[in-house]
Structure 1
Amino acid sequence: MTERAEIRARDRSDTEAGRGPARAACPAVFIAAPASGQGKTTVTAALARMLRNQGKVVRVFKTGPDYLDPLVLAQASGQPVDQLDLWMAGEAYCRQRLFDAALEADLILVEGAMGLFDGEPSSADLAALFDLPMVIVMDVKGMAQTAAALVAGLAGFRDDIRIAGLIANACGSKRHRELIDAALPAAIPLLAAVERNAALALPERHLGLVQAEEIREDLETRFEAGAKALLAEGLADALLQLPPVAFDAVPDNHTAILPALHGQTILHGHTIGVARDAAFSFIYQANLDLLERMGATLRFFSPLTDGCLPPCDALWLPGGYPELHAAPLAANAAMRDDIRRFFAADKPILAECGGMLYCLETLTDYDDRAHTMLGLLPGHGAMRGRRGCQGMQTAELPEGPIRGHAHHRSVSEGTPEPIAHGRRQRHPAPGEAIYRQRRLTASYLHLFFPDNPAAVARLFERDPADHRN
């Protein structure tokens, strides 16, 4: 173990024992872009793999509520990947996650969302709050000096951000690189130029990247090719030699993660069955961590392949791609019958987005074929092409408000009167409908459990009357 690794291990141990440092420092970089589709995730994954291949510990974070990118980045880095979102999770949560990562990492990478100034709060807001230097990833196909002008404009748009350099993606030739490099402001270096190569890009589908589990071996090939390309640019040394960024610990680490519980394990003795397979995979690791910290035991099962539920007191049916697996979901009659019995016994079920579609009577896929689903909730779901709905919302539940987001390309019809609607972040119109049948709570909303742990506990309790404040 290196001297630095020994120091990190000692600091982490001391922190867990309540006597650790109040501040941790580590080189850190925010990977941003002028727009979506510039190659941020491809570059971030390649950077993580490049440094991992050198024996470095790289902790990666993803800005916003994304589910798919973190799975890819976790495979590339070999480390868990958490979401950082100032609206959904809050400043204290984000600060503590970065502090914890700095205790163990040689480098922290934070991948932005959309364009760096898009959204409220934006990627730039997160980078500015934690003083993270930003590296701009830009697809430079079809332009040369204009790429430098765009970078200069981004750098000068706000005075509270720092641009550490440019990574020119889809660069066509050595001469192309030279033209961009010569036009950049002196304070913004060209850190790397990545050639146009379809073998480096990550495969996509209608809600974003293809799930990592489905193409694991293909991703490995792409990670290694990207790492090799960036290593040849000398990028590893440039990033590791950046001045460390200091991250302060939240005064009470525990309440930063469980702000409403103050240490109570109010789900102690509860077992929660969690659907997790190719059809249901949109799961925040932070949600799983929270349930376990509240005392719950988690039992994972597959609605696609398992014949029955595991013994459990409550169910969580998260989002995912049921539309891609509707036929096998419909064919697994044994599982459908077991979930129906669970529902009839008035046991709690939370169904989010794809999980809600599974709870409807039928689901019509992209080939216009209708498949029988659980029928716990009246109504029918159908896919609707490329148009969809997305946005940050607060679920206004009887148990309490919980922040989250919606992102779907389906519609549901014939559903009952909702008990409530989501409250949009910045728009007065009602958000997603929230349904309740017996103990089933269903909505298109994906909930971020750490926002209101007490409300989440009430959702999953065997008997809501058992809750103790």
Structure 2
Amino acid sequence: MTACPALFISAPSSGSGKTSVTAAIARSQARRGKRVRVFKTGPDFLDPTILERASGHPVYQLDLFMGGFAHCQALLVDAAREADLILVEGVMGLFDGDPSSADLAAAFGLPVVCVIDASAMAQTFAAVATGLQRFRPELRHCGVIANRVGSAAHGRMLGEGLPRDLPLIAALPRDAALSLPERHLGLVQALEQPALDAQLNAWADAWEAALRPGFPFKSQRFEADAEPPRPRLLQGRRIAIARDAAFGFIYPANVDTLRALGAELAFFSPIRHEALPDCDALWLPGGYPELHADALRAHPTLFAALAAHVAAGRPLLAECGGMLALLEALTDVDGRAHAMAGVLPGDARVQPRLAALGLQAIAWPEGPLRGHSFHHSTLDTPLAPIAQASNPNGGRTAEALYQHGSLRASYIHHYFPSNPEAVAAFFAG
């Protein structure tokens, strides 16, 4: 059993400021020399890039559907062994979704604090806060954070109606200069924000100025059974992975899984015109190929190398944006058509509105996997799917899985720890 201070940061809704508050706490503690480990609830590639920069360490996902209880438990135990503080950022509102942030916090007994946008509230703030506290009494609420507060007097008013067991931890002032840029899938990636570190320090300054004296980070006990060593099914296999602003949607746990299976990993940046490394298999993760189509098309060797890789019968997994880059054409949101690699028959169009969103379960030929889907593009291909995903919550999103020679493609962002043996069987060829 391992003990470590921990805090679960949630909210009544998306857009309340969970990410900025979590990042502010992480940066505040990190610059004091504390070892901070941050987790993000559910599937998300964008918020974790901000939180990783704030804390100085990779941010892993905790998802009871994609990874399961034991996997999440093991991640928390590993973090607790080396951290001075664990922060978990929730997703959407505290009780939204299935599984919800509340489900995760309850599963591990994590103390909860809710961030509430107080910009248009006064005494009603206390009603919202206490309603969140009492809706599921088994949750351990330890306080509330008011965000976008208009003045010191406003902050005092917000705290006056709160019960003694739900103190106002901090009243953060409204400041438009502290907001982060967004695009169609959410926050702009950390690597695309040159001024991010200065902004994170400004957030930390605001947090330290607003924090009420005496708030303790409560210690939490974590325990898990030792996991058996993973069979090294990919020993001797070299897997190339595209990683840059065009292909940045990579779960750290996926990389860990491939390494634990024995694979040697070779990362490369297509938009910086780095050559495809010599490899036995290739993974093109999701990202924003539509924003970097010109750079991809100008790569002197990439498209030919991708075609040669597939022609040689070497495995290639392409997920969402990675799949779009392999098509014959991709039309961006402005209506500009871009010729792509032409390795996968078909074309796609990016649209302003959301096309699909939801957790996904799919049966690969090698075994079942889990993941999620989130995209603004639509695909037109003559290929027939080899499998169709299902949504555990009954939503409409049910993505197809395509096979074209040694190429496997889907809009699904697969979570490799959900079935490492199936992933190893595919990449082994």
Provide the rounded CA distance (Å) in 2 between the counterparts of 1:401 and 1:366: 34
1:271 to 2:238 alignment: yes
Runs of 4+ in 1 over 6 A off after TM superposition: none
SS of 2:94's partner is: coil
Shift of 1:307: 5.2
SS of 1:150's partner is: helix
Percent of aligned positions that are identical: 52
Shift of 1:388: 2.7
Provide the rounded CA distance (Å) in 1 between the counterparts of 2:397 and 2:140: 38
Shift of 1:107: 1.1
SS of 1:441's partner is: strand
Residue segments in structure 2 that go unaligned for 5+ positions in a row: none
Correspondences of 1:15-414 after superposition (within 5 Å): 23-215=1-193, 217-234=194-211, 238=215, 241-249=216-224, 251-254=225-228, 263-306=230-273, 308-414=275-381
| 8 Å Cα contact 2:171/2:211 also seen in 1 | no
1:384-436: per-residue Cα shift (whole Å, max 9, x none)?
Answer: 10323110011221111110000000001134111111121122867101100
Residues 122 and 431 of structure 1: CA distance in aligned 2, closer, same or farther (over 3 Å): same
Residue segments in structure 1 that go unaligned for 5+ positions in a row: 1-22, 255-261, 463-469
Shift of 1:303: 1.9
Query: 2:220 is aligned with what amino acid?
Result: V
Residues 107 and 429 of structure 1: CA distance in aligned 2, closer, same or farther (over 3 Å): closer
SS of 1:411's partner is: strand
| 8 Å Cα contact 1:283/1:318 also seen in 2 | yes
Provide the rounded CA distance (Å) in 1 between the counterparts of 2:55 and 2:274: 35
SS of 1:316's partner is: strand
1:231-280: per-residue Cα shift (whole Å, max 9, x none)?
Answer: 12346852xx333110012x2223xxxxxxx5310100000010111100
Residues 236 and 57 of structure 1: CA distance in aligned 2, closer, same or farther (over 3 Å): farther
Provide the rounded CA distance (Å) in 1 between the counterparts of 2:5 and 2:271: 43
Query: 1:245 is aligned with what amino acid?
Result: Q
Query: 1:274 is aligned with what amino acid?
Result: I
Query: 2:4 is aligned with what amino acid?
Result: C
| 8 Å Cα contact 2:268/2:274 also seen in 1 | no
SS of 1:416's partner is: coil
1:214-242: per-residue Cα shift (whole Å, max 9, x none)?
Answer: 11x3111111111111112346852xx33
Correspondences of 1:430-441 after superposition (within 5 Å): 431-441=398-408
Shift of 1:146: 1.0
| 8 Å Cα contact 2:358/2:395 also seen in 1 | no
Query: 1:303 is aligned with what amino acid?
Result: P
| 8 Å Cα contact 1:304/1:328 also seen in 2 | yes
SS of 1:176's partner is: helix
| 8 Å Cα contact 2:7/2:218 also seen in 1 | no
Provide the rounded CA distance (Å) in 1 between the counterparts of 2:36 and 2:252: 18
Provide the rounded CA distance (Å) in 1 between the counterparts of 2:273 and 2:259: 23
Provide the rounded CA distance (Å) in 1 between the counterparts of 2:390 and 2:213: 44
The equivalent residue for 1:4 is none
SS of 1:253's partner is: coil
SS of 2:137's partner is: coil
| 8 Å Cα contact 2:356/2:397 also seen in 1 | no
| 8 Å Cα contact 1:136/1:165 also seen in 2 | yes
Query: 1:224 is aligned with what amino acid?
Result: N
TM-score by length of structure 1 reads 0.89
Shift of 1:133: 0.9
SS of 1:103's partner is: helix
Q: How many residues align?
A: 429
RMSD across aligned C-alpha pairs, in angstroms? 1.4
Query: 1:71 is aligned with what amino acid?
Result: T
Query: 1:435 is aligned with what amino acid?
Result: Y
